[in-house]
Amino acid sequence: MKRQPHTGRYLITAFLLAALGIGILVQIVRIQNSPEVAGVINQGTLIWKDFFPPRGEIYDRHGSLLAGNMTVYEIGLDLTVKPDMPTVMLALQMSGIDLDEVNYRISLAPANAQYIILDDFVSVNKAEQLMALQKDAHGDPTGKDLDAVYFKAHYARSYPENDLASNVLGFVTEDNHGYMGIEEKYDNILAGIPVRMLIPADPRRATEYPTIPPGETIILTIDREIQASIENILDQALVKTGASSGTIVVMDPRTGEILAMSSTPRMNLNDYQSISTVFSGETPFNRAISEAYEPGSVAKILTMSGALDSGAVQPSTVFFDTGSILVGGFRIVNWDGGAWGYQDMTGCLANSLNVCLAWVSSTQMGSDSFYSYMQRFGLGHATGVDLAQETTGRLKLPGDSDWYPVELGTNAFGQGVSVTPIQMVMAASAIANDGKMVYPHVLYAQVLDGKQINTKTQIVGTPISANTAHTLTEMLANGLETESSAALVPGYRIAGKTGTAQIPLPGGGYDQNDVNATFIGWGPVDDPRFIVYVWLEKPQSNRAASVVAAPIFKQVIEKLVVLMDIPPDAVRLQMIGR
C-alpha cells in the first residue's frame, strides 16, 4: 500500500517559511525607519544616492562611434573646515566655472550643511585648472580653503560628431534620461540598471562605491559615410532652392535597414539645452517620422500598384484625357490644367496626370478596392520604426464623418491623405522588393555579454504580387527615361516618381504660393539596393519637384553607388554572367 504524501506537514513548513520571510522584511523596514537611522539621515550624516552605470555606446554599422561617454566632475566643498568663500569663488571663476550655478546651489543648501555640491558635469579641462590652483595653494597659510574642494569623476553622454545623425540619435540629459530618437526608444537598455545606496554625506567618508555593469552597446543600421553625405547634400539643397526645411531617407528595400536619415534642423547633441531654440514652436525633431504631410503625386505609385494588382488596368490600358473628370460632384484637373489626349498607364505616370489616376481609382477600382490597397500599404498606421515620436498621418475612409466621395479621386494622387516619409518608404519597399513590404528599422544589433545579436528582417505584409512590383518598377523606369528626368544617373537604371503637392491651410483650402516637392526612387531596377526619399518644404527657386527634388535624388544616388560599391549595370550584369 502506497504511503500518502504528508500534505499537512508541507503546508505547515511553507507557512512557517513565509512567516519568517515576512518577519525579516518587517524588521528591515523597522530598522530603516527607526529614530536612530532616521536621525542619522536627517542630520545629513547619511544620504540616499543613485549610482548610474556608464551608458551603453552607440555605433554605426561599420564601427564608427556615434554616442559614447566622457569623464566629467562633480565639485563639492567641505564646510567643516570653514573655508574662506571669496577665495574659493575666485578659484572657481579662474577655472571658468559658472558662478551663477554655484551661487544657486549654495542658496539651496541647508544652514547646517557640512558638504555641498558646488557644480556638476564640469569638464575635465575646467576641473584640471581648479586642481592646479589647489595644488599651487599647498604650503600657503590659506591653502586649506582650496583643500576643502573635492572632485568626483563620473560619466556623461558625449557625441563625438556633434550634430551628425542628430535627428536619429536623440540626446541624454544630466538625469541620464534619453529623449527623442534612439536614445529615447532604447533608453532602458542603454541606461542600464542604476543602484540606490545609503552612503555617508561627506564624500571623504564614502570610500567605496558600487561597481555597476554598463548599459548595453547597440549598433545601428546607419552608415556614417552615407549619413554625412546626405546631410551635406541636404544642407546645400536648402541653400540652393530656398526651401524652409528638408528630409532625405535612404533604406535598403530588401531588409528595411535605414542607411541614412536626416531632416532639418539639426542640433549639436552635446548642447541639448539649445533644443527649444533650434526646434522652436512645433518644429518636429525628426520630420522623417514625426511630420505628416500630403505627398502629392508620389502616392500615384501606390494607386497604380493596386490597380495593376487587382486587374483593374494593365500597363497598355488606354485612357483619353480630356483635362478634367468629375468625382463625387467635383471637377478634378491636371497639374497644368491641360488635356493630354490618349495615354497608356505608363504615360499617365510619366506625365503625372491627376485626371487619369482619379479615373483609375474611382471608375476602374472603386472605393472598396482602392482603400483596401491603401491600407495594405500601411497608410494611416504607424510603421513601428524604432525611433521615438513617430506619428501616423491620416487616411480617411468611406464612413468617416469627414470623408467625402471626391476624396476617392484626390487621394489617388496624394491629396487629402497625409503620410510621413518613413510610411512612404515602407510602402514603396513592396514595389522594390518583389511585393514584400519590410519593417523599417535603425537597430542593426545589440551587444549582450560580448555577443552580437543581430536584428532580423521582418516582412510586414505583401500588399501586391511580385509580378505587379516588377511591372510597375519597369513602368516607372521607362517613364523617367522617356522624359529624360533630372533624376537619372548614367550607367544605372532607376525607377522613381516626383510629387509636387499643394499645402493645405488650417482653415480649409490650399496655399497658392508654396508647395512640397518630393521624389521617391529605387535601384538598380533589376536588383534594388536602396530606396531614396527626398522632400523639400516650400522651395522658392522653383515649385516643380522635377526641377528641385529630382536633381537632389541624383546627387544622393551618385554618392550611394560609390559608398555602397555598386558597379554600373553593364559591369555588374557582366560580373554575374547576365
Domain boundary among 140, 158, 176: 158
Q: What is the pLDDT of residue 78?
A: 86
Same domain? 246 vs 150: no
pLDDT digits (tens, 9 = 90+) for 359-379: 999 999 999 999 999 999 999
Same domain? 465 vs 354: yes
- Cβ atoms < 10 Å from Cβ of 479: 21
- Asked whether residue 32 is domain-assigned, the answer is no
Nearest residue to 70 via CA among 105, 34, 121? 121
- Cβ atoms < 10 Å from Cβ of 257: 22
pLDDT band at 204 (very low <50, low <70, confident <90, very high): low
List all residues 6 or more positions away from 345 whose beta carbon is below 8 Å from its beta carbon: 304, 307, 308, 313, 314, 315, 316, 317, 319, 356, 360, 475
pLDDT digits (tens, 9 = 90+) for 87-101: 899 999 999 999 999
- Asked whether residue 143 is domain-assigned, the answer is yes
- Asked whether residue 38 is domain-assigned, the answer is no
Q: What is the pLDDT of residue 35?
A: 47
- Asked whether residue 344 is domain-assigned, the answer is yes
pLDDT surpassing 60 at residue 157: yes
pLDDT digits (tens, 9 = 90+) for 327-342: 999 999 999 999 999 9
Same domain? 430 vs 289: yes
Q: What is the pLDDT of residue 225?
A: 98
Q: What is the pLDDT of residue 562?
A: 97
pLDDT surpassing 70 at residue 531: yes
461 pairs with which residues across the strands? 437
Q: What is the pLDDT of residue 209?
A: 64
HSE-CB at 557 with a 13 A cutoff on CA atoms is 33
Q: What is the pLDDT of residue 146?
A: 87
pLDDT surpassing 70 at residue 550: yes
- Asked whether residue 558 is domain-assigned, the answer is yes
Same domain? 281 vs 404: yes
CATH of residue 69's domain is 3.90.1310.10
User: Of 260 and 451, which is predicted with more confidence?
Assistant: 260
Same domain? 154 vs 244: no
Domain that holds residue 570: 224-575
pLDDT surpassing 50 at residue 474: yes
Same domain? 397 vs 257: yes
- Asked whether residue 554 is domain-assigned, the answer is yes
pLDDT band at 193 (very low <50, low <70, confident <90, very high): confident
pLDDT surpassing 80 at residue 440: yes
Distance CA 98, CA 427 (A): 51
The domain tally of the chain equals 2
Average pLDDT over residues 224-233: 98
- Asked whether residue 421 is domain-assigned, the answer is yes
CATH of residue 432's domain is 3.40.710.10
Distance CA 315, CA 27 (A): 80
Nearest residue to 500 via CA among 184, 241, 167? 241
Cis? peptide before 524, omega within 30° of 0:
yes
**Counting every residue, how long is the chain?**
578
Q: Which set of grid coordinates corresponds to residue 133?
A: 590652483
Domain boundary among 143, 158, 173: 158
